[in-house]
Amino acid sequence: MTTLSLESLVAKVEAAYERIAATDRPEVWIHLRPKAEVLAEVAELANSIAQTKGNDSEAIAELPLAGTLFAVKGNIDLAGYQTTAACPTFGSVAEEDATAVARLRAAGAVPLGATNLDQFATGLVGQRSPYGAVRHAFLPGKISGGSSSGSAVAVSLGIVDFALGTDTAGSGRVPAAFHGLIGIKPTRGLISNHGVVPACRSLDVVTVMAAELELASKAAEVMTGFDPADPLSRVREQNFEVVARAQDTVIGIAKASQIGELAPGWAQRFEQYIAELASAGFQIVEVDIAPLLRVATMLYEGAFVAERYAAVGQWLDEHLNDSSEDGSPAIDPTVGKIITSAKNISAARLYKDFEELDIHRAYANRLFAQIDALLLPTTVELPTQAEVAAEPFAVNTRLGRFTNFANLLDLAAIAVPAGNVGAEPFGVQFVAPAFADEKLVGLAAMALGVEF
């Protein structure tokens, strides 16, 4: 059993800051809390643990995340720090933690700071930030993935145990896949968005990334719960039975022609992964995902992108020429173009897209009545920073091929590592209906061969 003494907690914090210095990745952080401030919080935590009669098992029950360090994506409120959403002139100092952060702290987790992201959570590349492009944790020249870029790298570098991201179009799952991490994208509304800068208010979800499934699941569980401060907060409306045996689990896979082009070696690794699941006893069935892929294109190419303008567009119109403290532009040009160009989308077009979405949602309901989960590659490639610079829109579009549809269709998803192709991590995701979150964790555990 882990010893939760003040000495062990202090040692962990000291090690984290030593790791930060050793890795020398300043672009990961927008705000890094002073070590003395974190140590003071750890001392308060140790005192709380001591109040549980000195019994570690009781402390773990009351403080299930005690002894863990986490990072907070920079569009989520961390009390005492400016919530910038990676825009230096945006936002204000948060007077209180976002609900998700507050619940984690109440469970004993300690935040180290706010991490960098694609500005206003707009992008899957991790390169769209005045605070610097976030490089991949261990592959020089490759991107980190976004928009929750700094959070993924902070976990991958071993600085924190887990990190919060957000996921509207894949922003939690893609960087997790690029770094061989677990990425839990919960059902919309199960984790409160109170204290989160919206990207697309009706579609955003707070996500968690960790190296271990058990920790990621525990953090998600701690954050889950109705919050009256969030008008879109939901209670679990349906309970899905957690499947105990692979033999009782039906996994849908797309037709090979619908997967499209993947990075060299990725298609072969995906086929091997499917074969491994089949050998483990999972029932594999081929399904048609064309309607889902169509929905994926609607997120940015349709009227739904107007919700990004509704979130921060008016502010952007007034601040496009803002400068950072060093004189550089405060607004990323790619992000600014995406958001401001959505200003004049008509209501008629939006309702037309809602009509089409309803048709595809009905198809998704029929599809998931036949399978327990859909298996897909999380994304299609791991680009270089130069490739993204050369084609910022095209690369980003490709990366969201298998992630963009989930929130529009009100689906839950979990990204899991599935080995490597050469030096590159390869990741897959399991997708299931809304409120099947616990079922997805159980399925992922079976696929990974872990128990907890």
Local confidence band at 2 (pLDDT 50, 70, 90 cut-offs): low
Q: What is the pLDDT of residue 50?
A: 86
Q: What is the pLDDT of residue 197?
A: 98
Question: What pLDDT, in 10s, does the model give residues 117-157?
Answer: 999 999 999 999 999 999 999 999 999 999 999 999 999 99
Q: What is the pLDDT of residue 239?
A: 79
Q: What is the pLDDT of residue 20?
A: 98
- Burial zone of 355 (CB within 10 Å; 0-12 exposed, 13-18 middle, 19+ buried): exposed
Tell which CATH architecture fits domain 1-452: Alpha-Beta Complex (3.90)
Question: What pLDDT, in 10s, does the model give residues 272-285?
Answer: 999 999 999 999 99
Helix or strand run (H / E) with residue 252:
strand 250-254
Q: Give yes or no for a contact between 185 and 413, defined as CB atoms under 8 angstroms apart.
A: yes
- Burial zone of 257 (CB within 10 Å; 0-12 exposed, 13-18 middle, 19+ buried): exposed
Question: What pLDDT, in 10s, does the model give residues 200-225?
Answer: 999 999 999 999 999 999 999 999 99
Q: For the packed helices 213-223 and 99-106, what is the interaxial angle rounded to 10 degrees? A: 110
Question: What pLDDT, in 10s, does the model give residues 146-175?
Answer: 999 999 999 999 999 999 999 999 999 999
Question: What pLDDT, in 10s, does the model give residues 77-100?
Answer: 999 999 999 999 999 999 999 999
Q: What is the pLDDT of residue 242?
A: 85
Residue among 106, 38, 116, 110 nearest 76 (CA): 116
Helix or strand run (H / E) with residue 112:
strand 110-115
Active-site residue list:
73, 147, 171
Residue among 107, 155, 158 nearest 4 (CA): 107
The answer to whether residue 55 scores a pLDDT higher than 70 is: no
Q: What is the pLDDT of residue 1?
A: 39
Q: What is the pLDDT of residue 62?
A: 83
Q: Which long-range contacts (CB under 8 A, 24 or more apart) does 44-50 make?
A: 45/9, 45/108, 45/110, 46/4, 46/5, 46/6, 46/9, 48/108, 49/4, 49/108
Q: How high is the mean pLDDT of the chain?
A: 96
Residue 109, strand partner residues: none
Helix or strand run (H / E) with residue 371:
none
Helix or strand run (H / E) with residue 398:
helix 392-399
Local confidence band at 73 (pLDDT 50, 70, 90 cut-offs): very high
- Share of residues in the chain with pLDDT > 90 (%): 92
Q: Where are the domains of the chain?
A: 1-452
What does the DSSP 8-state code read for residue 303? G
Residue among 266, 256, 253, 254 nearest 381 (CA): 266
Q: What is the pLDDT of residue 57?
A: 58
Alpha-carbon gap, residue 365 to 431, rounded angstroms: 12
The answer to whether residue 9 scores a pLDDT higher than 70 is: yes
Alpha-carbon gap, residue 122 to 405, rounded angstroms: 16
Alpha-carbon gap, residue 425 to 417, rounded angstroms: 7
| Region 234-245 average pLDDT | 86
- Please name the residue ranges forming H helices in 124-172: 149-156
The answer to whether residue 60 scores a pLDDT higher than 80 is: no
Alpha-carbon gap, residue 39 to 289, rounded angstroms: 50
Helix or strand run (H / E) with residue 297:
helix 290-301
Q: What is the pLDDT of residue 56?
A: 57
Q: What is the pLDDT of residue 194?
A: 98
Alpha-carbon gap, residue 247 to 313, rounded angstroms: 50
In sequence order, what E strands does 168-237 have?
182-185, 206-210
Local confidence band at 53 (pLDDT 50, 70, 90 cut-offs): low
Residue corresponding to tokens 């003395």: 36
pTM of the model: 0.96
Neighbour tally for 416: CB within 10 Å? 27
Question: What pLDDT, in 10s, does the model give residues 27-38?
Answer: 999 999 999 999
Residue among 231, 206, 226 nearest 216 (CA): 206
